[in-house]
Amino acid sequence: MATKKKSGRKSSSKKKSSSSHRSGSSRPKSHSSSKKKSSSRRKYGPKAKKEVRTEMHHLKKGEHKNRRQAIAIGLSKARRKGAKVPPRQKAA
């Protein structure tokens, strides 16, 4: 009987969340402002991702000391090739 109650709760909670999600006019204003923040995130181009992936492969072979070094080298190579990579952060 306990399993029946749990499954009933899950289905009822899904109905509530899906019905509130469908009505677009009742969304709070703060939700739309959070969308603006997500669009200002740093994004890397596919060429940059490929370079980092390659360097992570080199890390597994033992060519780099740690993960951070592999990522830094991959992004550096991507910058040289002209890939979409955000500018470097200044050391604090």
Distance CA 20, CA 16 (A): 6
Q: Is the pTM of the predicted complex or chain greater than 0.85? A: no
Q: Comparing C-alpha atoms, which of 75, 14, 3, 88 is closest to residue 45? A: 75
Cα radius of gyration rounded to whole Å, the chain: 23
Measured CA to CA in angstroms, residue 38 lies from 34, 41, 67 at distances of 7, 5, 26
pLDDT of residue 64: 94
For the chain, 92 residues long, the average pLDDT of each consecutive 10-residue run is: 54 51 58 54 88 96 95 95 90 76
Cβ atoms of residues 47 and 84 within 8 Å: yes
pLDDT of residue 92: 72
